[in-house]
């Protein structure tokens, strides 16, 4: 049985900035948050980004920090997403119960793995997600009964394709009902396809892998995004992709100091 998804549903919630921008093809821009500070989350949320991916895979983010950052970001009208460190159902539950507007799940290589993520991220009858948290209704700006009725159709389920196997099976992954978006991690993809990072960007194997991911997303009516290093790269990538995650809070902080120190010492 096919269910309405975040991409196909007509349900509208003005608090879901990223989802609404994707639906209107507004080319939203996100970024990654790796520092465990709700103050950092607030500061980044005030920059004009549409969504912030709280990085529980590679960032210095604990469960407490994830909860605090999710609330801080949503309170400023920006969409918090949580990148999990793996596909385990407990991690999906914690992120969604904290109030994330969506999840980003790394290293998805098969349709079976995609189905498992969807299963634990959706309330019955579509999935097996349990109910018990008051927090997600707050970050969605609605009451709990409304959240329970609408969550399956408004939460973004985003899967990362970043390996040879994932690329080979991307069509099957995209065909899974309940998958809303694919996201390309170019560094892990380059490591898997080329054996080194960073990719130069013009390697035939690397270009072909990205093209296959985008083509599968378009074929099955899914959104597709990727990491972009800076504004110029983001502008170029948005000609092809529905959204990008522009760099990282940690990299932004480092780059500012490196740049300004060069000026100060010149």
- Give the integer Cα–Cα distance in Å for 19 and 201: 29
The 3-state DSSP class for residue 207 equals helix
Catalytic choice (12, 58, 60, 67): 58
Integer angstrom CA distances of residue 225 from 30, 55, 69, 91: 10, 16, 22, 22
Residue-wise burial string across 57-84, b where 16 or more C-beta atoms lie within 10 A, e elsewhere: bebebeeebbbbbbbbbbbeebbbbbbb
Q: Please answer whether residues 247 and 228 qualify as being in contact, where contact means their C-beta atoms are separated by less than 8 angstroms.
A: yes
Q: Closest by alpha carbon to 212, among 199, 196, 224, 197?
A: 224
Per the rule left: phi > 0, alpha: psi between -120 and 50, beta: everything else, 141 is left
Residue 58 is a catalytic residue: yes
Active centre residues (catalytic):
58
């Amino acid at each position: 049985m096919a269910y309405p998804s975040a991409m196909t549903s007509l349900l509208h919630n003005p608090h879901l900035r990223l989802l609404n921008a994707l639906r209107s093809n507004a080319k939203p821009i996100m970024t990654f948050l790796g520092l465990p500070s709700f103050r950092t989350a607030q500061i980044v949320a005030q920059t004009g980004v549409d969504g912030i991916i709280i990085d529980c895979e590679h960032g210095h983010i604990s469960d407490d920090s994830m909860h605090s950052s999710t609330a801080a970001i949503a309170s400023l009208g920006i969409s918090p997403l949580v990148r999990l460190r793996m596909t385990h159902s407990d991690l999906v539950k914690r992120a969604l119960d904290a109030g994330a507007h969506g999840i980003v799940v790394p290293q998805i290589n098969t349709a079976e793995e995609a189905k498992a993520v969807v299963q634990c991220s959706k309330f019955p009858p579509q999935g097996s997600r349990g109910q018990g948290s008051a927090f997600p209704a707050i970050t969605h700006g609605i009451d709990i009964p409304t959240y329970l009725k609408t969550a399956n159709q408004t939460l973004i389920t985003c899967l990362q394709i970043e390996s040879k196997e994932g690329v080979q099976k991307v069509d099957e992954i995209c065909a899974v009902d309940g998958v809303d978006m694919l996201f390309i991690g170019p560094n892990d993809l380059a490591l898997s396809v080329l054996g080194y990072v960073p990719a130069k960007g013009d390697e035939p194997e690397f270009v072909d892998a990205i093209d296959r991911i985008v083509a599968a997303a378009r074929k099955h009516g899914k959104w597709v995004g990727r990491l972009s290093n800076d504004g110029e790269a983001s502008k170029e990538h948005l000609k092809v992709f529905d959204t990008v995650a522009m760099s990282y809070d940690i990299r932004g902080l480092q780059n500012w100091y490196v740049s300004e120190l060069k000026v100060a010492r010149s």
